A and B are shown apart, each in its own frame.
Chain A
Amino acid sequence: MFRSRMSIFKPHAFILALLMCSVNGYSSELLVNESSNTHEISAPKLKSILLGSTTAWGNGQHIALCFFSSDKPEIESMVRRYTGKNLRSFKRHWTKKIFSGNASSMPLFYKRESKAMLFVESKDGALCIGSPKDVSLPKSVLKLVIQ
């Protein structure tokens, strides 16, 4: 059911992802359900997704956003870097969007990594941000590279 990380990803993409993480000073990763058919993403596009302006992947698949944990500094760092908001403002932004009718669902914050991994594995179009401790990724989960 599971394959090793190296058998799923191209080595150069993986190295590029590691470089991006080290350059940016955080260790969060972007994990995406393979149904999105997306391997790379630009920073503005990521910002647009995180803020709910972009709601679908290039193939039309609806994006379902999740985070591995709300209290990890990496998540705070990631959100701040790509949206310019701290986590509290980020959550308030989404609260406004959902209650005003401008979004269909809020990002999910999972405290347990296993649940988050299950979500990104089983939910079409899912994008999860976090630092998975388990090095092996499910077959249906890809790692996104930030351009």
Chain B
Amino acid sequence: MSFWLVADSHTRAMIKSITLHSFGLTEIMVSFKSYNVFMYMWLLFVVLFEAVFCSVAYAVSWDDVTLNGYVSAEYEQSFGTDTLGDVNGSFDMDLVDLVFNFRPTDRLRIATDFTWEHGSASEDGRGNVAIEYAFAEYAIFGSTKVRVGKMFTHFGIYNEIHTAKPATLTVKEPLSTNKNNKLGSTIRFYPRWLNGVALVGATTGKRPFSYIIQVSNGDTLDEESNPYEEDNNSSKAINGRLLYQPLDGLQLGASYYMDTMRDSVLGHSVDIKSSGIQAEWELESGFGLEFEYVSGTEGYQARDIKRDAYTLMFYQRFNDRYTPYLRFETLDPDKKMEDDNASIIIWGVNILIDENMFVKLEVDDFSSGVNNVSLGGESYSEFKASLSIGF
């Protein structure tokens, strides 16, 4: 396959021609039953040739392959605390990520995203290597498509682009709505990834909407099970998202996720239900806002934990180069518990250096109630800078 990808059109045509001739000669020679050394050698050549090159009939030419990706490097340093955040100040080789799209036919697409995070070195057990997604998508009619494989959970604004730093204004995705287990929750509102099937589609009217419905294994509570290989319970996760564009520049959305997560080791289960709304609005002047609200429950045998979170960001683009932003985030991990909230106020600027090359500078101010599991009532600030490049 790799040979076929690098071969030029003339070489490919020549190989096809030789292969066809080979089949013809083989038939003729076999029919004459002239069993001599030359024929055995020729047959061997044909068999080897077939084994090596005939599989190329299913290969994708470079014209039908696209490669995109991004690189991100960061620096973080916290102050006002001795224990939380990055107290020493660190450079982080955040990630390098490659996105491949193969299109063997007009209807079929294979998409996959490989990521190498934090200077991955398997020999030293450092960093993380992962397939963010790997799925096949087939257009069944119009804009309606079916996907099968590992996918991002389509929920809210940020989950699908949480590693794609060139696609976001801020250094990190909102913790409150997207990574709430880092801000006081036991379990996230929804998992990062799902393995299953999905139906996606969109309308083409003046006020278009798009939708996705996913049915998957969901996630697990224990680290023994691999939900991308085998489900550890019979309950399937169901989620979906609807996006609607009532005005140019304004997009509204609603998401839902439900699953039963099981711990195979301890033998208990948790019911997860989350729902969210979102709005993205950008005026022609360059002023914009993003808003997302998520609420849900962690259902245990003893009781249900109700939680909610929101994120709200304002930004203003100047000359398409400088974009200062201000974001508020708040998470209430348990609505029945007092003083367990956590909040972040982020103010910073996103600077476009070159095409798809961004420098981001920001200060994140964290604060929390005394009963917050992650921050324990502490308040501190963290300076963050990043360079992100998309291609």
Contacts and interface: CB of A to CB of B under 8 A. Distances in A.
Contact of A99 (B151, B164, B204, B352): B164
B119 interface: no
Interface stretch (A5-13, A15-23, A80-88, A137-145): A80-88
Contacts of A95: 164, 166-167, 356, 390
Given A101-B152, A104-B109, A96 B161 contact: yes
Nearest to A92: B167
B127 interface: no
Contacts of B97: 99
B112 to A, nearest CB: 9
A89 interface: yes
A84 B210 contact: no
A99 B320 contact: no
Interface string A95-108: 11011111011100
A48 B204 contact: yes
Interface residues of B, number: 45
B249 interface: yes
Interface string B217-256: 0000000000000000000000000000001110000000
A53 interface: yes
A112 to B, nearest CB: 16
B286 interface: yes
A83 B106 contact: no
Interface residues of A, number: 35
Contacts of A61: 106
Contacts of A88: 317, 320, 352
Interface in B82-114: 97, 99, 101, 103, 106-107, 109, 111, 113
Given A86-B284, A89-B282, A92-B167, A98 B99 contact: yes
B160 A101 contact: yes
B139 A56 contact: yes
A101 B103 contact: no
A56 B208 CA distance: 17
Contact of A85 (B106, B204, B205, B248): B248
A84 B206 contact: no
Interface in A85-143: 85-89, 91-92, 95-96, 98-102, 104-106, 123, 125
A45 B160 contact: no
Interface in B307-323: 317, 320
A47 B356 CA distance: 23
Given A61-B106, A106-B68, A80 B284 contact: yes
A104 B65 CA distance: 9
Interface in A8-65: 43-45, 47-48, 51, 53-56, 60-62
Contacts of B161: 96, 99-100
Given A53-B210, A125-B106, A101 B135 contact: yes
A100 B135 CA distance: 12
B186 interface: no
A39 B286 CA distance: 35
Interface string A67-89: 00000000000001001111111
25 contacts: A47-B206, A47-B208, A53-B208, A54-B143, A54-B202, A54-B204, A56-B139, A62-B103, A80-B284, A84-B247, A84-B249, A85-B249, A88-B352, A95-B390, A96-B164, A98-B99, A99-B164, A101-B111, A101-B132, A101-B133, A101-B152, A101-B160, A104-B103, A104-B109, A106-B68
Interface of B: 63, 66, 68, 70, 97, 99, 101, 103, 106-107, 109, 111, 113, 132-133, 135, 139, 143, 151-152, 160-161, 163-164, 166-167, 200, 202-206, 208, 210, 247-249, 282, 284, 286, 317, 320, 352, 356, 390
Interface of A: 43-45, 47-48, 51, 53-56, 60-62, 80, 83-89, 91-92, 95-96, 98-102, 104-106, 123, 125
5 shortest interchain CB distances as A-B pairs: A84-B248, A100-B160, A99-B164, A53-B202, A104-B101
